[in-house]
Structure 1
């Protein structure tokens, strides 16, 4: 059976479904995803952060990201690296996703 090639955009779209429970906004649109690596077949590695180092939902968010990535066709393993450098700031929020006023 032919396994589909997974792209960075596939991963980004999947992660967009996960909301930060405190902010109510996608972890992608908040700028919490720093890096997506799809160079290894069937393995996706991401570097991500949370809005603060002491975020009580950090484990939940990282687990949700891993599970959602592993649900993508063609992915057998997701590696989620939770990092805090650079520190997240509101400047990282994706402006094109905010409602237009």
Structure 2
């Protein structure tokens, strides 16, 4: 279990094991509920994709924390090219996160489902390190940190 989940009191007491099937199921749910925005493609403005992409990212959750990854502050950068290709820089709450291998895939799948998005590249970065200061006030409130 990662440090934030342990701090917030979420997860099980079984040595922090995360069921791989639960992570895959969470990714499928996030992908099926991602919004699309036909107007972004019609406008030809890549920035019109930003809000639908953020909405899609808000459907992705770390299975140990009941807050989406965008409001947790795990998304550092969203670059949208004129052709609709998207580059995302993200981090995790801890390098030893049990879903470190799956989380970037979940992010990529969610962003790819947004209408008007082309190729998606997700890079996992560790600098700057994540801290609770990057969380939205809503996330902090949900986790009892405000």
Q: TM-score range by the shorter chain?
A: 0.7 to 0.9
Aligned residues: 100
Equivalent of 1:10 in 49, 52, 68:
52
RMSD (Å), alpha carbons: 2.1
Decide which structure has greater helix share. Answer: 2
1:79 match: secondary structure: strand
Equivalent of 2:91 in 49, 71, 81:
49
Q: CA deviation at 1:58?
A: 1.4
1:36 correspondence with 2:78: yes
CA contact 2:80–2:87 (8 Å) conserved in 1: yes
In structure 1, runs of 5+ residues without a counterpart are none
In the alignment, which residue of structure 1 is the partner of 2:133?
91
1:79 correspondence with 2:114: no
Between stretches 24-33 and 6-15, larger displacement belongs to 6-15
TM-score in terms of structure 1 length: 0.87
**C-alpha distance after superposition, 1:8-59 (max 9, x if no partner):** 2221111000011111210001000000001241211110000011111112
TM-score in terms of structure 2 length: 0.62
In structure 2, runs of 5+ residues without a counterpart are 1-38
CA spacing shift, 1:38–1:53, aligned 2, 3 Å: same
In the alignment, which residue of structure 1 is the partner of 2:104?
62
Q: CA deviation at 1:76?
A: 2.4
Q: Which has more radius of gyration? A: 2
